[in-house]
Amino acid sequence: MTVRRLAEIQPASFAFTAENEAWAQKEIAKFPPGRQASAILPLLWRAQEQNAYWLPKAAIETVAAMLDMPPMRALEVATFYSMFNLSPVGRHHVQLCGTTPCMLRGSEDLKKVCEQKIGHQNHVTADGALSWVEVECLGACCNAPMVQINNDYYEDLDPQNFTKLLDDLVAGRPVVKGSQTGRVSSEPVGGLTSLTSLYGVDGRGAPPAQASAPVAAEPIAADIEAHAAAEEADIKAKLATLPKDATPEMKADSVGARPAGLSGARADKADDLQRIKGIGPVNERRLHELGIFHFDQIAAWTRPEIRWVGTYLSFPGRIDREQWVSQAASLAAGGPGLKTHDSSPVSGVKTGAGDVAG
């Protein structure tokens, strides 16, 4: 196991911002008396986010005091998990997987790229842009070799596209997350050989043969991806100017306009937003919290509203990539979405204006 030590140069103190302090107290309150130490992982993570994505000793001790636990116990946790950076990192921190599947697929060559462009592990480039470290399995073995840069995965790498990826990040150019060779998920490099009637050879989701109505939108095209990537980069640049403790609402307000929401579902019957490919239980709940209950609401989103919602939900560009608006328009009209099993008519959909919340 890698020896993980605290940085030699440490800040004298650490304190949560008022907002993060309030958030931390809510996290602690989730656990019964005597079990507050169970909140240590989210509190350490929030402290790291606040401190330019590295965790100083003072922050570890602050969290330990908040949880009424010995500092050494908190230090044991912080030094055990590689998700916690114990020394300063670059704006783009590369975690390179070196476990067996990635090693067999060329991670050693990616290490050489890191050493040439960045230097030794845990070194931050002079411009503060890049740093790197080797980690254990990141769980994307089918698309090996891969790296995690900040919070995003980049897969199907080779020395050439990895070098370009790092150059683009440093220059602030748009980059494509996920596979760097165009794979959608983890289908074979040569295309799917089974279930092609459901997902298509390229894995992007062909409509089932028995579908009674055409799917609202074509599979994601290169121009859609390019537009989404460019908009994502623009939003990222704007968010970089905000304070690190900016709330999701503050971030969204800085790049777009919040869509009008309903005070409740019309006739107390919300549409099943999970019929839209890309919306699961969590996103559906968060959309409900914004007053979004019906397909026609999503179908009417303007560009500023798409930017606002995507940023608020922490995935700018995804609404375009997954074509939520065109799917919602199809579903509102009684057609299917892009989910391949979705062919049932929409029930209970009304297109009236409803009561709009302020």
CB 187 within 8 A of CB 178: no
Nearest to 357 by CA among 299, 313, 292, 304: 292
Asked which of 111-120, 208-217, 235-244, 270-279 is least confident by mean pLDDT, the reply is: 208-217
pLDDT of residue 217: 42
User: How distant, in Å, are the alpha carbons of 220, 281, 320 from that of 278?
Assistant: 13, 10, 11
What is the pLDDT averaged over residues 3-8? Answer: 87
Better-predicted residue by pLDDT, 356 or 200: 200
Amino acid found at 146:
M
Q: Which pTM was predicted? A: 0.55
pLDDT of residue 220: 46
Total residue length of the chain: 358
pLDDT greater than 70 at residue 173: yes
pLDDT greater than 80 at residue 186: no
pLDDT of residue 339: 63
What is the pLDDT averaged over residues 297-312? Answer: 93
User: How distant, in Å, are the alpha carbons of 24, 49, 51 from that of 17?
Assistant: 10, 12, 11
How many whole angstroms from its chain centre is CA 113?
25
Nearest to 63 by CA among 25, 8, 11, 10: 25
pLDDT band at 341 (very low <50, low <70, confident <90, very high): low
pLDDT of residue 154: 96
pLDDT greater than 80 at residue 192: no
Assign 134 to helix, strand or coil. strand
What is the pLDDT averaged over residues 204-217? Answer: 46
Domains of the chain, each with CATH number or no CATH? 18-80 (1.10.10.1590), 92-179 (3.40.30.10), 222-357 (no CATH)
CB 39 within 8 A of CB 30: yes
pLDDT of residue 210: 46
pLDDT band at 228 (very low <50, low <70, confident <90, very high): confident
CA distance 344 to 347: 9
pLDDT band at 336 (very low <50, low <70, confident <90, very high): confident
Nearest to 333 by CA among 299, 306, 303: 299
CB 129 within 8 A of CB 116: no
Please name the residue ranges forming H helices in the chain.
18-29, 40-50, 57-66, 71-80, 100-104, 107-117, 159-171, 196-199, 222-239, 248-253, 281-289, 295-299, 303-312, 318-321, 324-332
pLDDT band at 24 (very low <50, low <70, confident <90, very high): very high
Could you report the per-residue pLDDT of 284-294, keeping only the tens digit for each?
A: 999 999 999 99
Could you report the per-residue pLDDT of 83-102, keeping only the tens digit for each?
A: 999 999 999 999 999 999 99
What is the pLDDT averaged over residues 311-319? Answer: 90
26: how many CB neighbours lie within 10 A of its CB?
Answer: 9
pLDDT greater than 50 at residue 56: yes
48: how many CB neighbours lie within 10 A of its CB?
Answer: 21
* Average pLDDT value for the chain: 86
Task: Give percent above pLDDT 90 in the chain.
Answer: 66
